Amino acid sequence: MNALTWTDDLRLDQPQMDRTHEEFVQRLAAARHALDQGQPEQALAAFDELLAHTVEHFAQEERWMQATGFAPENCHARQHASVLQVMREVMRLAREESRWEPMGLLIGELGQWFPQHARVMDAGLALHMAELGFDPVTGTAARPLPEHPLTHCGSNGCR
């Protein structure tokens, strides 16, 4: 199966986001490799690291969304919640029932989902942050936040 690899096409020119995304791709590849090698314990450990990374990855983006005027309920955050729910269930199935097929399927699906998510939702967030002059390190914006909380993902494509 073709694994997702980090390329400049995935870069959003937002250093913190790009670094986190590259780490996600690396952890996803490590889980894929361990599973492909028939190493269930290593696959479980790698997927556990991927899950922990993804929890913080999504939480960081959601903190940025909150700081830049997104409504608590927005489609970007809902997608994060859905992905984490499936990842946790796959982890449970592997850990408690030694069912590895769902993990393999999900790793493949995440490899297809992630580039689209990054190019639409995360790119929209990065653009929104740039438009506000938002500094993710200090959490401050140079320009005023939107008058009304944003309920979409940061791009113009979803509602």
Domain boundaries, the chain: 11-141
Mean pLDDT of the chain: 93
pLDDT tens, position by position, 9-55: 999 999 999 999 999 999 999 999 999 999 999 999 999 999 999 99
- Cβ-defined contacts of 103-110 (< 8 Å, 24+): 103/31, 103/35, 103/43, 103/47, 104/35, 107/28, 107/31, 107/32, 107/35, 107/47, 108/1, 108/32, 110/4, 110/28, 110/83
What dotted CATH number matches 11-141? 1.20.120.50
Question: Per-residue pLDDT for 131 more than 50?
Answer: yes
